[in-house]
Amino acid sequence: MKPSTIKIQTSQDYYESLKGRRLKVYLFGELVEEPSEHPMIRPSVNAVAETYDLALREPELASVISPFTGERINRFLHISTSANDLVLQNKMQRKLGQNTGTCFQRCVGMDAFNALFSTTFEMDKKYQTPYHERFVAFLTEMHRRNFVIGGAMTDVKGDRSKAPHEQADPDLFVHITRRTSEGVYITGAKAHQTGCLNSHWLLVMPTMRLGEKDKDYAIVGAVPVEAPGITYIYGRQSCDTRSMEGGSMDAGNANFGGQEAMVIFEEVFIPNPLIFMDGEYEFASMLVERFTCYHRRSYVCKSGVGDVLIGAAANIAEMNGADKASHIKDKLVEMTHLNETIYGTGIAASYQGYATESGAYLPDDMLANVCKHHVTRFPYEISRLAQDLAGGLMVTLPSEQDYNNPETHELLKKYLKGKPNIPTEDRFRMFRLIENMTLGRNAVGYLTESMHGAGSPQAQRIQIARFMQLEYKKRLAKVLAGIEVIDTEAMVEEAGSYFGRVFEI
């Protein structure tokens, strides 16, 4: 833990806060001495740093006054207590997607502690536990320091047909291995953890609904990223070593990138004041469902990344001299239509947010799942259309080294020319950006993460089925068709369970 005086206000403060932490990070089979300085990791650090810069440039959008300290903090640390708070999160997420063209890695933590705030409140109400008070104390300290909190939810899961306690190896889900009077020790692993190295603290949470025999897996706690017993193994991404080659053209988006790693816990200690669930297995599903509700709606961030890709596609069409063709314009319209549909459903989920017992606001669950379900499809079509508009050079372009080689530079400058008034290098860079976003390093954040992040498509379809009010809609049709409906009171009750909170009826 850094000295208690540290508080992050600027991106430079953030960069400094990551140094000297002695994290145990493996990349390419070797320990990384200073992860934040590694050329393959640095673009992801820059993406998080942009969240601090945006808060300074646009404080009303990306910062807020803490209700716990009275000081201005980053909006990524804020508990939403109104629908407007949820909406501003979405607007901030789209802006950051536009500014970075990638995943900026703070949404998981934000959505995790918002879900945990209301869940601990309701656990305490039922069991008279101290979790909510502990969590507020922890969050207050995070506000004082303006830190980055990461969420660690996705276990490696082993045999998907078996519950955690049924696994041949109990460590395939994070669980408590021993207890002392001061706290608990946990062992296990969390997969594809977004921005974990770039966070200051991790919230460790269960990944699924649990049963009574899974009590040791019903553990939620906060650990500093440099806690003894934690090993990080950095994840590969397509074309990731280009950032180690020097130069700025072949990387496509040289400044910004995402980050995923496996986090392995080996007898990691969580002291009692940082434990926010311990054995209350029946609340695991509430926590997971509330987290996914927040997080599926948070995928409006992809609309900001989509804005960049649409702009890149329009640029390359112009650079190719094809921008006036009607089918080119139509494809750009289709890309925009898909992108705005993602944003529209996500922000609608926020506008229709409602208060939980704790006072924290939760997005509309149906629309949050519809938003994420769009995200599992639409970025792939937007990417396909971008590749269509770019043409084959996007994947057959010679290297930056060849472009800068005196022996071949003039040849490539001549033969890679598009419209006469556009520099060849500009066209080269635009090709690489489209490649980066649809096939390369940042395709992880825009495509694969869009498919599997916050649950794969079937997970959203299950939730949509739960909330689709089919019996209510069948009764509506019967009434208008003149068919007698006997159970009208049940119809009103069922409608009120969902529409009542949305329309305040």
In the chain, where the domains are located: 296-465, 469-503
Q: Please tell me the predicted confidence (pLDDT) of residue 488.
A: 55
Model confidence at 503: pLDDT above 80: no
Q: Please tell me the predicted confidence (pLDDT) of residue 499.
A: 52
449 classed as catalytic: yes
Model confidence at 2: pLDDT above 50: no
Q: Is 176 helix (H, G, I), strand (E, B) or coil?
A: strand
119 annotated ligand-binding residue: no
Q: Please tell me the predicted confidence (pLDDT) of residue 492.
A: 56
H or E stretch at 183: strand 183-194
Residue from 107, 196, 293, 371 carrying the catalytic annotation: 107
Q: Which two tokens stand for residue 106?
A: 């703070």
Residue from 194, 207, 345, 438 carrying the catalytic annotation: 194
Q: List the alpha helices (DSSP H) in 77-197.
A: 83-100, 107-127, 131-145
Residue from 51, 100, 103, 293 carrying the catalytic annotation: 103
293 classed as catalytic: no
Alpha-carbon torsion (291, 337, 347, 55), positive or negative: positive
* 296-465 has CATH 1.20.140.10 classification: yes
How much is the mean pLDDT over the chain?
Answer: 95
Q: Please tell me the predicted confidence (pLDDT) of residue 504.
A: 46
pLDDT class of 3 with cuts at 50, 70, 90: very low
Q: Please tell me the predicted confidence (pLDDT) of residue 278.
A: 98
Q: What is the mean pLDDT of residues 172-201?
A: 98
User: Is residue 197 within 8 Å of 23, Cβ to Cβ?
Assistant: yes
- Which is nearest to 227 in space by CA: 259, 269, 193, 262? 269
299 classed as catalytic: yes
Model confidence at 45: pLDDT above 80: yes
Model confidence at 505: pLDDT above 80: no
- How would you list the strands of the sheet with 30-31, edge to edge? 30-31, 25-27, 230-234, 260-271, 183-194, 175-180
Question: Over the stretch 216-240, which tens digit does the pLDDT of each residue have?
Answer: 999 999 999 999 999 999 999 999 9
Question: Over the stretch 357-393, which tens digit does the pLDDT of each residue have?
Answer: 999 999 999 999 999 999 999 999 999 999 999 999 9
Q: Please tell me the predicted confidence (pLDDT) of residue 220.
A: 98
301 classed as catalytic: yes
Model confidence at 494: pLDDT above 70: no
Give residues with Cβ within 8 angstroms of 463, minimum separation 6.
289, 292, 365, 366, 369
Model confidence at 495: pLDDT above 80: no
295 classed as catalytic: yes
- Which is nearest to 403 in space by CA: 202, 258, 247? 247
H or E stretch at 46: helix 42-57
Q: What is the mean pLDDT of residues 28-45?
A: 97
Give the percent of the chain with pLDDT over 70: 95
User: Is residue 195 within 8 Å of 147, Cβ to Cβ?
Assistant: no
pLDDT class of 462 with cuts at 50, 70, 90: very high
452 classed as catalytic: no
Q: Please tell me the predicted confidence (pLDDT) of residue 490.
A: 56
